[in-house]
Chain A
Amino acid sequence: MTPLLTITGWELRIGLRNRWVVATTLVLAALALSLVLLGSAPTGTVGASPITVVVVSLASLTIFLVPLIALLLSFDAIVGEAERGTLLLLLAYPVARWQVVLGKFLGHVLMLALATALGYGAAAAVLYVGEGADAGAWPAFALLIGTSVLLGAVFVALGSLVSIIVRERATAAGVAVALWLVLVLLYDAALLGLLVADQGQTISAGSLDLLLLMNPADIYRLINLTAHEATAVASAMSAPIEAGLPLWSLYAALIMWILLPLGAAVALFKRRQA
């Protein structure tokens, strides 16, 4: 086994041992199940299936929760090991710096993927038993799980970068929370304020698209609320897609949001003196 996979496996093992995976799975499952069991009321006569409604509401909640979990997992990936005193020993082994960063990243993403798949999967299973198969909505559910993991990977990458830039664990925690606040809450509020103030004068549809691509949470929202006709109807969010953002560009932007912080993290960690 390569050092990279050894580190990934080790992170996963630690995550299972200290019950991170179990706790996260339970939180996500509780959230999804409560939406499934309590949230079937608002379907009314809109014509959206219950599955679609669950997907749309779950996507909205995922935007808040998954980045937070991802940041909690990753913010002390390096700085925490340095503070505990385990980093020096790890680096004295025959491992390259990039293997440490990527190995931990993969481990954290796997933990998140496991929790998301199990948590949301539980909700899907309950829905399936209750509602039966709705051909149009199940791919949306699968997409929800897949993109949630991607969104999580973005924030794991961002957290890894924070954990390398910052010298103290407490600072890293603060920066991670700030990052979450800005990208998940403040960015959209500011964007909305900007649009209202601008009254459509200077901000073109093209620059709005660009502004949306600058935030991974918005990209995730766009993918999930517009990708399928059924969900698009339920969320009334089809405008940006029609305005000319092809789906591939959304995925490309999301993947760039993973690769850029990760690349920066590796480059910085390589230069660092242990």
Chain B
Amino acid sequence: MNTIVTLDGVTKRYGKLTALENATLTLGAGEAVALVGHNGAGKTTLMKLVLGLIRPNGGTVRVLEKDPAGRKGAQLRRRLGFLPESVAFHSAMTGEELLGFYARLKRAPHSANKALLHQVGLAEATHRRVGTYSKGMRQRLALAQALIGTPDILLLDEPTSGLDPASRAQVYATIDRLRASGATILVSTHALAEIEPHVDRAILLHQGRIIAAGDLASLRKNARLPTRIRLKVAPCSTEKILTSLHSDISLLHRSADRLDLAVAQTHKLDLLLELAALRDMIEDLHVEEPGLEALYHHLMSEVPA
């Protein structure tokens, strides 16, 4: 796999504040990676470094084997698409005019703008001033501008913040489509559970440091987070079920006809076999693997404050 973005021991300070410390990571061609962390964890700083808008105090940043903050930076940015976290546009201009302006800056053909506006669901609002747009519409316009000129690398900073569920789904669909077309995507987000199916890997940032990175399966395995099993059982049978289970489980919740159990990954199958033997009493069974969200909270709790 070709390496598209490399950060090697990168540190970025603003005065006394260390926004990013000794960060090392690579993004391969066609990879979709989630950048996860609290506000102020260093997500935006990392994106600005990749864009060449700021220079690191230590370490090196390489994008397509070039220094993005160097002389060739502007040239490099033609191949990048960026969606900033809090996006704003000149409110007196129309959506079409704005996309036209940004397309000219990127020297991309204008003919694609209409399709882009259509793609993000703004076909009807093309000739309206951006000042009349809702927050969600502005966010979608921001997504459209990030897609101008079909960039090789997309940096999406909180692309779904402030969007309604339908618009969020649209953003994820767009990410999936770009992913399928071979673009490299770095997406920062708080909506961990939502982003999970749309990325290959996750990088967890905490106070400027990368505390975990990897594909979700291995992150999960390393964290040894338990699987949660939800049972709907026949009335008044909870006690009977619990006493007949021998696996090492912990009881999370119990009511007249419901049981929530947590079991270590290694004992998951044993427990399921035991439960299968009790199928007369079990009406329904639901297995919940720990998501990115649970993983995130677990890892955060392990970091010394």
A93 engages B77 (CB within 8 Å): yes
A91 engages B101 (CB within 8 Å): no
Would you list which residues of chain A between 153 and 200 have a CB under 8 Å from chain B? none
Chain B residue at smallest Cβ distance from A14: B90
Chain B residue at smallest Cβ distance from A83: B88
Q: Is B192 an interface residue (CB 8 A)?
A: no
Would you list which residues of chain B between 72 and 124 have a CB under 8 Å from chain A? 74-78, 80, 82, 84, 86-90, 92-93, 97, 101-102, 104-107
Most buried by B among A1, A7, A92: A92
Contact of B55 among A6, A93, A273 (CB under 8 A): A273
B84 engages A85 (CB within 8 Å): yes
Q: Is B145 an interface residue (CB 8 A)?
A: yes
Chain A residues with CB under 8 A of B53: 88, 91-92, 273-274
Known A91-B53, A92-B53, A274-B53; contact A10-B101, beta-carbon cutoff 8 A: yes
Task: Give chain A's interface residue range (CB within 8 Å of chain B).
Answer: 20 to 34
> When chains A and B are docked, how far (Å) is the Cα of A274 from the Cα of B14?
11
Chain A residues with CB under 8 A of B191: none
B104 engages A96 (CB within 8 Å): no
Chain B residues with CB under 8 A of A92: 51, 53, 77, 80, 82, 84
Shortest beta-carbon distance from B71 to chain A in Å = 9
A18 engages B89 (CB within 8 Å): no
Chain B residues with CB under 8 A of A10: 101
Q: Is B180 an interface residue (CB 8 A)?
A: no
Chain A residues with CB under 8 A of B168: none
Chain B residues with CB under 8 A of A34: none
Q: Which residues of A contact B (CB under 8 A)?
A: 1, 3, 6-7, 10, 13-14, 17-18, 84-86, 88-96, 273-274
13 A-B residue pairings within 8 Å (CB atoms):
A1-B104, A3-B74, A6-B105, A13-B97, A14-B90, A84-B88, A86-B88, A89-B82, A94-B78, A94-B106, A94-B107, A95-B74, A95-B105
